[in-house]
Structure 1
Amino acid sequence: MLTTDFQPGSPCWLDLGAPDTDAAAAFYGELFGWEFHSLGSEAMGYGFFQQGGKTVCALGPLMDEDARSAWTLYFQTADADATTKAVEQAGGVVRVAPMDVFTEGRLAAYTDPAGAEFAVWQPGDTRGVDVVNDPGTLCWSELHTPDPAGARAFYGSVFGWDTEDMPMDGFTYTVLSTAGGGREAAFGGSMPEGPDEQPRWLPYFEVADADAIVARAQELGGRVVLPAATAEGIGRMARLADRTGRSSPSSRATTRRRRSPVRGRATPVATRRDGRHRAGGPTSGGPPGRRTHRRQQVP
């Protein structure tokens, strides 16, 4: 299961790039009860979403007028430079070369061979988000890809992840775990992408009731892309589009009321939002730490 005892290869940070950060902060604040704490004009509007005083993710403006709203997932690495070499050797594209974010850490961003974008974070003063697996926080990460076998090989080469295939209705779901951690270290999964879907990483946010989240999202101006449905033994899921993206970025809400076959524990609900931005770097420039700073520009 995902924890804040971040291990190499585990998700440790995520941020949202939005064309209208005020609208995004209002929408997700109403939906999840998050409080947005901006780092001010020196950070170009970047800031943290917090819950109970703990950071759950971050939000920043898009850096390109042609970009689309997107969540960027960061995976922990002990050495961003070594990971960058591994990505290149495995056939990935380096979108942002390793760069320091003051003393907070070091980041790099990539595109995998199938086109899914992701980033890594080498921790310094900032290790990652403060809380996971509570309602309103990250609880799972999922890769949608046109080439599951290629993704297994690529990410296995880069991060050394362990994998376990689980037959589903009409496809195979691959559970992802940090190297040597076994099923208890599972943090996400990989599955074939759907029709007309672009390769992408999707974060899930745990909630108490997927149906209530769907209703609330609609009240706030969001749109239901896929209505809530129950996946036997896993939970209840719905896919939503928030009101902030010009290109209708979407979210998924998942209520898991049974014992998860992956994580082996009762799991309430999750919501995820996805989209893509144009290649050229993560929207945020990485986890900037807990103090106001002058934001570094992405190359």
Structure 2
Amino acid sequence: MTDARGSARHDGERPARHAPGTPCWVSLMVHGLDATQEFYQALFGWEFRPGPQQLGPYVRALLDGQEVAGIGRLPPDRHLPIAWTPYFASSDVDRTAETVRSCGGTIGVGPLDAPEAGRLAIGSDPSGAVFGIWQAAAHTGTTVTGVPGTPAWNELTTFESASVAKFYETVFGYDEEPVVSADLDYVTLHLDGRPVAGVYGAGNAVPRDRGPHWTTYFTVADLDDAVEHVVHLGGQVLKPPRDGSHGRTAAVADPEGARFSLLQQPS
């Protein structure tokens, strides 16, 4: 599992804009912002910086001063699913939003400006999975990858891969690489020849309480230790550690129920 974002910038350099279609940010909206910050700070070593505040109280998570992810507070009257949402880069969020609509998706928030930071929209694909679109200004998105505590991969779980992969291909310009298997319905989405996301067709195994959804994988140095840490901090283990073709993974949830996966890549 790799992506098209590259690694950390050198000190003093302004981070480059992400190519359109690149997964460029992950964001989580919760009810208890302070408690959630404490959980992820203890798990990943994140520090936090306020803003932008366009959608209410919001903080950016940093590792060694470089931006990794965002966490915001849901309004008390909004009973939305607590879930990590991936954002994909766009050079024109309004045009991308129109393409989403024309391809059978919906736009639930925006497009709107986050002053000086950029412009965003939040939508869903034809199967209902939620994702974001980000047009960068001062805030380019995630600026460091490949080290513990950073996003490593985004994977869509949906009913079947073909039509949904075609949607993302049309919206973001991806190329598809299906897995040739009678037992696995999986498509890897590529951008400029590099894998950036996966689409898993789970059929009837899609959880009824969630429906189709994106999952973010975060890199960890020691998977077993990280899983124990999740439980100690009040989270839960949804799928215990297991070996895969890209490393060892586990599915977990934070204390508010936001699900994510942990990935220990082969050494």
TM-score w.r.t. structure 1 length?
Answer: 0.78
In structure 2, the CA distance between the partners of 1:33 and 1:9, relative to structure 1 (3 Å rule), is: same
- TM superposition shift of 1:139: 1.4
Q: Who is 1:58 aligned against?
A: 70
Identify the match of residue 235 of structure 1 among 234, 244, 247: 247
AA matched with 2:24: C
In structure 2, the CA distance between the partners of 1:43 and 1:161, relative to structure 1 (3 Å rule), is: closer
1:16 aligns with 2:18: no
Q: Who is 2:9 aligned against?
A: none
AA matched with 2:222: D
1:201 aligns with 2:201: no
| Distance in 2 between residues matched to 1:228 and 1:167, nearest whole Å | 25
Q: Who is 1:254 aligned against?
A: 263
AA matched with 1:48: R
Deviates more, 1:215-224 or 1:94-103: 94-103
| Distance in 2 between residues matched to 1:147 and 1:153, nearest whole Å | 11
Deviations, residues 96-124 of structure 1 (Å, cap 9, x unaligned): 23112222211111111000011111111
Structure 2, unaligned stretches of length 5 or more? 7-15
| Distance in 2 between residues matched to 1:128 and 1:39, nearest whole Å | 13
- TM superposition shift of 1:60: 0.5
AA matched with 1:131: V
| RMSD after superposition | 2.0
Identify the match of residue 28 of structure 1 among 25, 40, 53: 40
AA matched with 1:114: S
Q: Who is 1:115 aligned against?
A: 128
| Distance in 1 between residues matched to 2:237 and 2:176, nearest whole Å | 32
In structure 2, the CA distance between the partners of 1:86 and 1:215, relative to structure 1 (3 Å rule), is: same
Identify the match of residue 91 of structure 1 among 104, 113, 116: 104
- TM superposition shift of 1:169: 8.2
Structure 1, unaligned stretches of length 5 or more? 258-265, 267-299
Structure 2 residue matching 1:69: 3-state secondary structure = coil
- Counterparts of 1:111-260 in structure 2, within 5 Å, are 111-167=124-180, 170-178=183-191, 181-182=192-193, 185-193=194-202, 194-196=205-207, 197-231=210-244, 233-243=245-255, 245=256, 248-257=257-266
AA matched with 1:173: Y
| Distance in 1 between residues matched to 2:52 and 2:23, nearest whole Å | 26
Deviations, residues 49-80 of structure 1 (Å, cap 9, x unaligned): 11111111111101343122111211101111
Deviations, residues 231-281 of structure 1 (Å, cap 9, x unaligned): 1x32111111211x1xx3322112221xxxxxxxx6xxxxxxxxxxxxxxx
Structure 2 residue matching 1:25: 3-state secondary structure = helix
Structure 2 residue matching 1:28: 3-state secondary structure = helix
Aligned length: 250
| Distance in 2 between residues matched to 1:120 and 1:255, nearest whole Å | 28
Deviations, residues 13-55 of structure 1 (Å, cap 9, x unaligned): 1111111011110111111111122349897431111111111
- TM superposition shift of 1:8: 0.6
| Distance in 2 between residues matched to 1:114 and 1:40, nearest whole Å | 30
Identity of aligned residues (%): 35
In structure 2, the CA distance between the partners of 1:236 and 1:168, relative to structure 1 (3 Å rule), is: farther
Structure 1 residue matching 2:179: 3-state secondary structure = strand
Structure 1 residue matching 2:79: 3-state secondary structure = coil
- TM superposition shift of 1:168: 5.9
Structure 1 residue matching 2:126: 3-state secondary structure = coil
AA matched with 1:227: P
Structure 1 residue matching 2:231: 3-state secondary structure = helix
In structure 2, the CA distance between the partners of 1:217 and 1:168, relative to structure 1 (3 Å rule), is: farther
| Distance in 2 between residues matched to 1:130 and 1:35, nearest whole Å | 14
TM-score w.r.t. structure 2 length?
Answer: 0.87
